[in-house]
Structure 1
Amino acid sequence: MTLSTWLSLFTLCLMGAIFPGASLAVVLRNTLNHSRLHGAITGIAHAIGLGCYALLSVLGLVLVLQQSPLLFKTLSYFGAIYLLWLGYQGITATATPPAADMPNTPQPSATLWNAARDGLLIALLNPKVGLYFLAIFSPFINATMSLTDKAIFVSTITFVDGSWYVLVATALSQGNTLIWLKRHQQWIERALGCLLIVLALHIFLST
């Protein structure tokens, strides 16, 4: 893969990562509710999920989603149900104290696992990602790709997505930004919850 080709791939990945959606809402939610680490873990897990779809794309297996409407709908509906559940948690949540983001406060492993689960499932239960890869990244995928090019393709998508959300979690948990978010936490939680429910309903209606 030439440098110019890789830069084009990197740019497309960055544009896709920056575009707001359910993943950004969940990263924000976990950062606000728990800590910077929880938000970062959510983002990294989401990137791993995207990496799985990227791997399926270069192996040609993502075509199964295109050729199996039942599998596509099943994954989409499970994803919508998960978004509904997260949305319900958001609109019924109460504010938590900011102490959870103090550096000396131990992070509960169960909560970190939950953060990772959120990020991973948001990606894996969205089969449209696979079709998006086929449509947008088709110029980079062909039958003659070397093993090195396949590795670069998958790792670039994973790295860019994960790095973006780690940056988001870090920015949201800084000084005055975190204080403002904590002060308005309950309203932000409810707004994010409503957004996730709207996204879930959109999936139900469009699938």
Structure 2
Amino acid sequence: MYWTEFLTVALIHLLAVASPGPDFAVVVREAVTHGRRAGTWTALGVGSAIFLHVGYSLLGIGLIVSQSIVLFNALKWLAAAYLLYIGYKALRAQPAKPATEDLHKEAGIRTARGAFTSGFVTNGLNPKATLFFLSLFTVVINPHTPLAIQAGYGIYLAVATAIWFCLVAMLFSQQRVRAGFARMGHWFDRMMGVVLIAIGVKLAFTEMH
């Protein structure tokens, strides 16, 4: 009975998650810099943050945030500040030896908790994600759809997001890919820093519609 609605939700989510944004940039940076394990934990962090968005959307808190300019701006500036912070750290990357063994050493530096937190905070503080899930649960999903079904949609969205970014982490953490990026040395990190800062600045100037 709800298959059509579910497929619509799944398609919209696929288009949204596949478009490059702060989540993609953070997962790629973690995977290339610290390896598959860190990239995977970052992806799981992003996926777990989806439960946060789904939770407040079901509770109606997302509607309150979307209607309050003060709350929206507070969330927006927090997210922008975080992206600017990690972007600035990336810009300060120093040249490193592009040896294969250095990649293995680097992979062990990042803790699972740190990588997970990075992904969770990046997605959790993103006001665009707030508006996306709010519109999904108020416009696309019928309000008369049972809460249990809506929660099921939420679980799917979280799991699908985590799987997508785990695949991204697997791709960018392959030894050949990492070795290629390593040959570019600290310039890759600086490039990702510019991307994150640009996303942060764009986010800072996002207006509530």
TM range (shorter): 0.7 to 0.9
| Residue 166 (str. 1) matches residue 166 (str. 2) | yes
| Aligned equivalents of 1:27, 1:78: Cα separation in 2 | 19
| Aligned equivalents of 2:103, 2:183: Cα separation in 1 | 14
Structure-2-length-normalised TM-score: 0.87
Shift of 1:2: 2.6
| Aligned equivalents of 1:73, 1:14: Cα separation in 2 | 27
| Aligned equivalents of 1:51, 1:169: Cα separation in 2 | 21
1:147 — aligned with what? 147
Residue identity over aligned pairs, in percent, reads 28
Shift of 1:130: 1.6
- Residues 7-46 of structure 1: pairs in structure 2 closer than 5 A: 7-46=7-46
The alpha-carbon distance between structure 1 residues 14 and 100, as it changes in their structure 2 partners (threshold 3 A), is farther
- Residues 31-180 of structure 1: pairs in structure 2 closer than 5 A: 31-94=31-94, 95=96, 98-99=100-101, 102=104, 107=108, 111-180=111-180
Is the contact made by 1:58 and 1:141 (CA closer than 8 Å) also made in structure 2?
Answer: no
The alpha-carbon distance between structure 1 residues 157 and 180, as it changes in their structure 2 partners (threshold 3 A), is same
| Aligned equivalents of 1:147, 1:98: Cα separation in 2 | 51
The alpha-carbon distance between structure 1 residues 148 and 205, as it changes in their structure 2 partners (threshold 3 A), is closer
Classify the secondary structure of the residue corresponding to 2:61: coil
| Aligned equivalents of 2:147, 2:112: Cα separation in 1 | 33
Is the contact made by 1:93 and 1:189 (CA closer than 8 Å) also made in structure 2?
Answer: yes
CA RMSD between the two structures:
2.3
Shift of 1:15: 1.2
Shift of 1:13: 1.3
The alpha-carbon distance between structure 1 residues 17 and 106, as it changes in their structure 2 partners (threshold 3 A), is closer
Q: Which amino acid aligns with 1:205?
A: F
Deviations 1:86-137 (A, max 9, x none): 11111111347654765x99845x6221111111111121122121223345
Structure-1-length-normalised TM-score: 0.88
